[in-house]
Amino acid sequence: MQRVFLKGLKGGTGCTAIVANLACVLKKSAVHVIAIDLDSKSDLCLHFGLPWKNTQGWSNANSFEGVLKHFHQDNDGVIFLPHGDNTPSNLDLNKLANNCKKLDTPDTTWMLFDCPSHVDINNYTLDEDDIVIEIVNCDSICHSLIYKRLQKLKNTTNAWHHFFLVNKYNSASVLEFDLFSLWQSTLPLMAPFFINHDEVIKESTAYRNVALNCAPYSVANDDFETLAGWLASKAAL
């Protein structure tokens, strides 16, 4: 099982959309994919077509056996677990992530976690094979936060794989181009590509779906396929 923890360096980076679209692109490779929402906003399920009236999720269960009743499967075959409308503690997030390793799934399963931006990744018990991706936007706030994050990582004895990924990149912006070029040349953990800003993400979300199904030939879908291939190469190391 390959676990990938994705979180925004700050709120609003578009992490949830990345998790949903990545899950569907990975599923095209005929592997098992499980997407788990750890964020109390509980937005991940909207990308998979779960009705608004369904507000229940793992946070509403009293035991892991109860959690199993809240798994769903979308039309693409992605298995997903909504957060629900309770507000658990940080310890509960880590406990759920660890309990999900007990699921009876094939060894080739990809498990994607949509993590809240306000919870430090060090609050999770991570294995050396786990991959952590922090989502950033090319703006001045992330520019400040990303260097603070690197300083904190230097003082952490982490064994997992950690990367930063630029989302919502606007190639027409001189500021974003300059920031991305700077990060690429100075940051050791920056992914060598970006996810472009594409209106199809907003449009597909409005249809409670993903870019692959709404616009299979879009720039965004190409970017998610690049991300999936890059992750597969990192998982093989």
Its pTM stands at 0.95
> Can you name the residues that pair with 3 across neighbouring β-strands?
111
Q: Residue 62 belongs to a domain with what CATH number? A: 3.40.50.300
Q: What are phi and psi of 164, to 5 degrees?
A: -110, 140
Domain count, the chain: 1
Report d(CA 133, CA 193) in Å as an integer. 13
Identify the domain containing residue 195 by its residue range: 2-235
| 10-residue stretch averages of pLDDT, the chain, 237 residues long | 96 96 94 96 92 91 92 95 90 92 93 95 91 96 92 78 95 95 91 94 91 91 96 87
Report d(CA 10, CA 96) in Å as an integer. 23
**Integer CA distances (angstroms), 17 to 53, 54, 98, 116, in order:** 20, 19, 23, 13
pLDDT at 88: 86
